[in-house]
Amino acid sequence: MSSRTSASRTTLRAAAAGTTIAILAVLVLAADQFTKFLALENLPERQAVPVLGDFLQLYLTFNPGAAFSLGEGVTWVFTLVLAAAAVTIIVLAVTRVRSRAWAIVLGLLLGGILGNLGDRLFRAPGFLVGHVVDFIHTPWLWLGFPSAIYNVADSFIVTMMLAVAILVLLGVRFDGSREKDAAATADDEDQPASADPHAQP
């Protein structure tokens, strides 16, 4: 398989990349808000509801801060950070992303960011300082450290940030090319043309 054929299968046109990011973001946002709606309608606040024993519990709580409820007094800061991250992804989607892998990862990440950003903007106690709805508790996941309550948006944010790190380590660029391929191409261009044994002196 030629490198050109392989690259064509992993790259997208600008419109397709943007559409992929938008669709995935909307799906994650919808899933996050729907599950939060179900939690608010059906779960008692701050009471553990076992689903699979200690493996999975539902525990409705409202988080004004970041992970582990840090920074509770500066909720607006987290709102601005989420908004900046969302704008950055949208700008990248429009201007640079052509890689199928990057489009998928950034679309899922954007959906998670928008899910929690919506809580910050529109939930009590008010605009910019809303508390995020958390309801998933998996005590085993934290390996003895203080466990956190989280939501669907958090799950996508964490897993997609790991995926971003993997793509960076693999050298995958936003346009679908790879760092090593670009370096090899540059080396080939720098090499002088080989001597033609049939050339006349």
Kindly list the catalytic residues. 134, 154
As beta bridge partners, residue 99 has 11
- In single-letter form, the type of residue at position 139 comes to P
The span from the CA of 164 to the CA of 180, in Å, is 18
Give, in degrees to the nearest 5, the angle at Cα 80 between 88 and 165: 45
> How many whole angstroms from its chain centre is CA 14?
19
Tally of residues, the chain: 201
Residue 139: Cβ within 10 Å count: 15
**Tokens linked to 2:** 């030629």
Given CA atoms 29, 35, 41, 44 in this order, what sign does their dihedral have?
Answer: negative
Three-class SS of residue 60? strand
